[in-house]
């Protein structure tokens, strides 16, 4: 069964892919991870809440059946490790998240945990052992709604978040600190020490994840839009994840009056200011968008007056632009400020522009993209080079210095929605479906990840890794067991 394709990556037997896919099907079924999804209501599996803990438990249980080594870090992220031939080689890291937004879908995140597990199952089926360990991560609380914070688990593991994140409270008013204690699955009585350790690491901006011992990281994820469907491709290889500028609140204050009264030149409708503002912002966005990558929207517009014969004295709007080009984001940020002032200068009244949030674009590792494209080509899979408009856990890894890539899977575009679906085929769990393609790509990559421009083999000594693992995981959490043995 260890076929000839082995030299150029690894072509998993069709039968074995099918076995892997049956595991994916079972994990995504209403008996398992689909248990919390409910028809029109969708899935509301919020980060660090009981449902997420239960979902992590279900996957770990499955991992145990597969004979994988199971670990949990002090941010309650879970890791399922498939031991490779040489356990001292840098690890290949895959995985994604199991939490969802409120009334979201089953497949955002979940697919990225299930696909590599299905690939491991397929490899085991043919007795194939990868040259290095493969770790499947379950990052906790990727979605923002519960703590108003994106990528909490991966952000703490890579020390990208400040210590103050532990004080953030969720929708029920419970702090992240307390949620973490509830989420720790094992080892009673060590919670205080764990929290203290996490706090120290965050303060020192020192990742709890032994990033120096990770060769590459790859995240599989459903696409948030429908670019792949439109281009009739199964898988997207992402070159960059868009950054954004977000103005949660731009408020216009004008004067109320009868819609039929007065002279037009004297009118101070807040809505006139809003119109002028939006017009200027949109025309600038369209101008930039004609030359550079840019998407923009006004996600929120509100005014308290519901009387259609009275002009509003107050209107609030939110604005967001996303781009892989930092200069395009700079330009949009300054346009919003200028357009707000121009609108007020033209129509009178006042404007308050609330604080802007900004995240920078993240560029994925070029060499890992190239390796993935090579594997896909050899397997005869159709891929598409694209940018991603949504944030993902994998950004944290790339920002922490791990050579990382993001692979998107074809999708209808109904994401963060109860209507979210897996892909467009009638049966997604057959070898020639998009999920089948993802499983084959993952399996091939596990067997021959190749060397990236940032592979750290040799840059970290075994001793250093040993000490680091002991320091980080103590006796109970040795992420790389061979190193602490
Ligand atoms: Zn996601």
Domain identity same for 183 and 310: no
Per-residue confidence (pLDDT) for residue 309, from 0 to 100: 81
Per-residue confidence (pLDDT) for residue 330, from 0 to 100: 96
Return the minimum-mean-pLDDT range out of 181-185, 202-206, 304-308. Answer: 304-308
- In the reported structure, the alpha carbon of residue 1 is separated from the centroid of ligand 1 by a whole-number distance in angstroms of 35
Query: Count of H helices and E strands in the chain?
Result: 14, 15
Domain identity same for 261 and 235: no
Per-residue confidence (pLDDT) for residue 411, from 0 to 100: 80
Quick one: pLDDT band at residue 473, thresholds 50, 70, 90?
Answer: very low
- In the reported structure, the alpha carbon of residue 115 is separated from the centroid of ligand 1 by a whole-number distance in angstroms of 14
Per-residue confidence (pLDDT) for residue 258, from 0 to 100: 83
Q: Residue 354: is its pLDDT beyond 90? A: yes
Report strand pairing: 403-409 vs 235-241: antiparallel
Cβ contacts of 163 within 8 Å, gap of 6 or more = 199, 202, 203
Domain identity same for 322 and 432: no
Q: Residue 308: is its pLDDT beyond 90? A: no
Per-residue confidence (pLDDT) for residue 351, from 0 to 100: 97
- In the reported structure, the alpha carbon of residue 101 is separated from the centroid of ligand 1 by a whole-number distance in angstroms of 9
Domain identity same for 32 and 178: yes
- In the reported structure, the alpha carbon of residue 45 is separated from the centroid of ligand 1 by a whole-number distance in angstroms of 12
Query: What DSSP letter does each residue of 26-57 carry, written as one string?
Result: HHTSTTTGGGG-BGGGBB---TTSHHHHHHHH
Report strand pairing: 91-97 vs 362-363: unpaired
Q: pTM here?
A: 0.86
Name which of 165, 167, 171, 163 is nearest 149 in CA terms: 165
- In the reported structure, the alpha carbon of residue 429 is separated from the centroid of ligand 1 by a whole-number distance in angstroms of 20
Per-residue confidence (pLDDT) for residue 224, from 0 to 100: 83
- In the reported structure, the alpha carbon of residue 247 is separated from the centroid of ligand 1 by a whole-number distance in angstroms of 23
Strands (E) located in 91-151: 91-97, 134-139
Return the minimum-mean-pLDDT range out of 115-119, 171-175, 423-427, 472-476. Answer: 472-476
- In the reported structure, the alpha carbon of residue 142 is separated from the centroid of ligand 1 by a whole-number distance in angstroms of 7
Domain boundary among 359, 394, 414: 359
Q: Residue 7: is its pLDDT beyond 70? A: no
- Give CA–CA dist 453/391, Å, rounded: 24
Per-residue confidence (pLDDT) for residue 274, from 0 to 100: 95
Q: Which has more confidence, 406 or 206? A: 406
Domain boundary among 307, 331, 359: 359
- In the reported structure, the alpha carbon of residue 342 is separated from the centroid of ligand 1 by a whole-number distance in angstroms of 38
Q: Residue 358: is its pLDDT beyond 90? A: yes
- In the reported structure, the alpha carbon of residue 104 is separated from the centroid of ligand 1 by a whole-number distance in angstroms of 10
Over residues 373-399, mean pLDDT: 93
Per-residue confidence (pLDDT) for residue 210, from 0 to 100: 84
Over residues 110-118, mean pLDDT: 97
- In the reported structure, the alpha carbon of residue 395 is separated from the centroid of ligand 1 by a whole-number distance in angstroms of 12
Domain identity same for 201 and 327: no
Over residues 438-450, mean pLDDT: 94
Per-residue confidence (pLDDT) for residue 479, from 0 to 100: 44
- In the reported structure, the alpha carbon of residue 144 is separated from the centroid of ligand 1 by a whole-number distance in angstroms of 10
Domain identity same for 199 and 336: no
- In the reported structure, the alpha carbon of residue 339 is separated from the centroid of ligand 1 by a whole-number distance in angstroms of 34
- In the reported structure, the alpha carbon of residue 392 is separated from the centroid of ligand 1 by a whole-number distance in angstroms of 6
- In the reported structure, the alpha carbon of residue 105 is separated from the centroid of ligand 1 by a whole-number distance in angstroms of 10
Q: Residue 464: is its pLDDT beyond 60? A: no
Domain identity same for 383 and 236: yes
Domain boundary among 338, 359, 380: 359
Cβ contacts of 371 within 8 Å, gap of 6 or more = 216, 445, 449, 450, 452
Over residues 354-359, mean pLDDT: 93
Per-residue confidence (pLDDT) for residue 32, from 0 to 100: 94
Domain identity same for 103 and 201: yes
- In the reported structure, the alpha carbon of residue 356 is separated from the centroid of ligand 1 by a whole-number distance in angstroms of 24
Per-residue confidence (pLDDT) for residue 377, from 0 to 100: 94
- In the reported structure, the alpha carbon of residue 143 is separated from the centroid of ligand 1 by a whole-number distance in angstroms of 7
The tens digit of pLDDT for each residue in 269-306 reads 899 999 999 999 999 999 999 999 999 999 888 877 66
Q: Residue 77: is its pLDDT beyond 50? A: yes
Domain identity same for 29 and 65: yes
Domain identity same for 40 and 176: yes
Task: Write down how long the chain is.
Answer: 485
Q: Residue 47: is its pLDDT beyond 60? A: yes
Domain identity same for 87 and 29: yes
* Domain containing residue 113: 4-241+361-484
Quick one: pLDDT band at residue 225, thresholds 50, 70, 90?
Answer: confident
- In the reported structure, the alpha carbon of residue 98 is separated from the centroid of ligand 1 by a whole-number distance in angstroms of 8
- In the reported structure, the alpha carbon of residue 301 is separated from the centroid of ligand 1 by a whole-number distance in angstroms of 26
Q: Residue 6: is its pLDDT beyond 80? A: no
Quick one: pLDDT band at residue 458, thresholds 50, 70, 90?
Answer: very low
* CATH number for position 291: 3.30.70.360
Per-residue confidence (pLDDT) for residue 455, from 0 to 100: 52
Q: Which has more confidence, 462 or 230? A: 230
- In the reported structure, the alpha carbon of residue 421 is separated from the centroid of ligand 1 by a whole-number distance in angstroms of 13
Per-residue confidence (pLDDT) for residue 355, from 0 to 100: 94
Over residues 112-119, mean pLDDT: 98
- In the reported structure, the alpha carbon of residue 192 is separated from the centroid of ligand 1 by a whole-number distance in angstroms of 30
Q: Which has more confidence, 87 or 328? A: 328
Quick one: pLDDT band at residue 485, thresholds 50, 70, 90?
Answer: very low
Number of domains in the chain: 2
- In the reported structure, the alpha carbon of residue 141 is separated from the centroid of ligand 1 by a whole-number distance in angstroms of 10
* CATH number for position 431: 3.40.630.10
Helix (H, G, I), strand (E, B) or coil at 481: helix
Q: Which has more confidence, 459 or 94? A: 94
Over residues 420-434, mean pLDDT: 74
- In the reported structure, the alpha carbon of residue 154 is separated from the centroid of ligand 1 by a whole-number distance in angstroms of 12
Question: What is the distance of C-alpha 122 from the center of its chain?
Answer: 25
Over residues 417-431, mean pLDDT: 70
Chain-wide mean pLDDT for the chain? 86
Domain identity same for 258 and 382: no
Return the minimum-mean-pLDDT range out of 81-95, 240-254, 354-368, 411-425. Answer: 411-425
């Amino acid at each position: 069964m260890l076929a000839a394709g082995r030299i150029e990556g690894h072509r998993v037997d069709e039968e074995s892919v099918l076995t892997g896919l049956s595991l994916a099907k079972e994990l995504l079924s209403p008996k398992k991870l689909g248990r919390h999804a409910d028809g029109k209501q969708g899935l509301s599996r919020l980060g660090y809440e009981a449902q997420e803990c239960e979902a992590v438990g279900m996957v770990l249980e499955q991992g145990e059946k597969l004979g994988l080594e199971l670990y949990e870090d002090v941010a309650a992220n879970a890791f399922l490790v498939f031991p490779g031939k040489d356990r001292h080689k840098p690890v290949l890291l895959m995985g994604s998240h199991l939490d969802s937004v409120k009334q979201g879908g089953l497949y955002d995140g979940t697919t990225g945990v299930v696909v590599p597990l299905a690939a491991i199952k397929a490899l085991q089926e043919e007795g194939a052992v990868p040259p290095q360990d493969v770790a499947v991560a379950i990052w906790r609380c990727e979605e923002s709604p519960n703590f108003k914070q994106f990528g909490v688990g991966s952000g703490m593991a890579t020390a990208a978040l400040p210590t103050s994140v532990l004080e953030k409270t969720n929708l029920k008013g419970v702090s992240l600190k307390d949620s973490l204690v509830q989420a720790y699955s094992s080892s009673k009585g060590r919670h205080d020490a764990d929290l203290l350790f996490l706090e120290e690491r965050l303060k020192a901006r020192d990742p709890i994840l032994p990033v120096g011992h990770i060769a590459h990281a790859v995240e599989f994820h459903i696409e948030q839009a429908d670019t792949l469907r439109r281009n009739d491709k199964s898988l997207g290889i992402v070159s960059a994840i868009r950054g954004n500028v977000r103005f949660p609140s731009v408020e216009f204050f004008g004067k109320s009056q009868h819609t039929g009264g007065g002279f037009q030149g004297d009118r101070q409708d807040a809505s006139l200011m809003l119109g002028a503002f939006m017009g200027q912002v949109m025309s600038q966005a369209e101008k930039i968008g004609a030359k550079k990558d840019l998407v923009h929207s006004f996600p929120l517009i509100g005014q308290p007056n519901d009387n259609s014969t009275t002009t509003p004295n107050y209107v609030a709007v939110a604005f967001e632009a996303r781009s892989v080009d930092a200069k395009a984001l700079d330009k949009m940020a300054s346009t919003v400020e200028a357009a707000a002032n121009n609108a007020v200068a033209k129509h009178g009244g006042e404007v308050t522009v609330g604080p802007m949030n900004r995240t920078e674009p993240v560029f994925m590792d070029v060499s890992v993209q190239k390796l993935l494209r090579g594997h896909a080509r050899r397997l005869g899979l159709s891929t598409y080079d694209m940018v991603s408009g949504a944030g993902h856990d994998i950004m944290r890894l790339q920002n922490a210095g791990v050579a990382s890539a993001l692979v998107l899977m074809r999708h209808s575009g109904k994401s963060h929605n109860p209507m979210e679906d897996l892909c467009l085929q009638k049966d997604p769990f057959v070898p020639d479906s998009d999920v089948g393609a993802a499983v084959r790509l993952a399996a091939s990559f596990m067997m021959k990840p190749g060397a990236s421009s940032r592979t750290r083999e040799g840059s970290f000594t075994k001793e250093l890794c040993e000490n680091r693992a002991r320091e980080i995981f103590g006796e109970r959490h040795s992420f790389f067991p061979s190193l602490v043995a």
